[in-house]
Amino acid sequence: MGEQLEQIIANGLVLGLLYSLIALGITLIFSIMGVLNFAHGQMYMLGGFVVYYFYGVQHYNYFLALGIAAILLAAIGVAFDRFLFRRVLRTARREEMAMLLAMGTALLLEEIALLTFGEKSRGVPEVVEGVYQIFGMFLVKQRLFSIGIAIVLIVGLMIFVKKTKPGMAMRALAQDKEAAYLQGVNVHKISMLGWAIGAALAALAGGLVAPILMVSSGSGGPITLKTFLVMMIGGFGSVSGSIVGGLILGFFEAFGYALLPGTITYLIIFCGVILLLILRPQGIMGKPAG
């Protein structure tokens, strides 16, 4: 094996938690609005570029750069909800129009990144350097650092959704919008909050992976595709499914790239997802329709 087993597991955990973070964001938006945000990968990409600029170029504190990325992308998410998707969802052909609009916003964000940063991939300095040697294993400190922050963010989101009033309002809105409205839930306010949190999570994921991988303007599309795979595996609209699906995809990808040619890895993953959808269309954690 080209890499140590421990290193492959560490890579899988980093990728899995990254995919889980992004999928949690798009799951919030889909659950509340019924919109598949095709621009979510581009939000991840922009988050990485913001961290690159403020941390790598302007030499701001990394956590400050991460916070700026989250705030900027949250503002973009709110603007998308307030000025674009909310208007489209009032129309008669809301599903078709929302999908076209989502594709358009993805292209818009990608062009903004191209015009601002160009096509060249950008490297971001590591926040923590070196490796830990534990029982013969060599674990890169930067990867462990990113894993730790990702776990904190995922646990924090779970607590927010389950224990706070806005989080419970999100859950109520996702389950039955009309009933939530009758119970006094401010639907517009909660939908904006969902968009803001979803976009911020994508930006944070992009910022966390920036010191590990190169940041490029073409990374948004592949990330969006992988996020949809995560949701198919775990179940659309399922928070726990996003976590499970992200970890499954991350570990399959890490082991596949270590043991197989790169093109074969995703061929096997796609075949596995197709088989899963035949046997369990709602995904691992999703609920059957009806």
- What is the pLDDT at residue 135? 61
Q: Which domain holds residue 177?
A: 7-218
- What is the pLDDT at residue 70? 96
Residue 153 in domain = yes
Residue 254 in domain = no
- Quickly tell me which residue has 């939000």 as its tokens: 43
Whether 153 and 20 have beta carbons less than 8 Å apart is answered as no
- Quickly tell me which residue has 């008669």 as its tokens: 92
Closest CA to 72 of 190, 213, 203: 203
- What is the pLDDT at residue 92? 55
Total domains, the chain: 1
- What is the pLDDT at residue 258? 84
- What is the pLDDT at residue 289? 58
Residue 55 in domain = yes
Question: What averages of pLDDT result for each successive group of 10 residues across the chain (290 residues)?
Answer: 67 86 85 80 93 94 96 94 82 74 89 88 88 70 87 90 86 75 79 90 92 86 89 86 91 87 83 90 76
Residue 269 in domain = no
Q: Alpha helix locations (H) across 176-261?
A: 177-182, 187-209, 220-234, 239-259
* Residue 87 identity (one-letter amino acid): R
Residue 194 in domain = yes
- What is the pLDDT at residue 51? 95
Strand partners, 132: 139
Residue 247 in domain = no
Residue 223 in domain = no
Residue 169 in domain = yes
Structure tokens at 126: 């590591």
Give the three-state DSSP class for 133.
strand
* The pTM of the whole model exceeds 0.85: yes
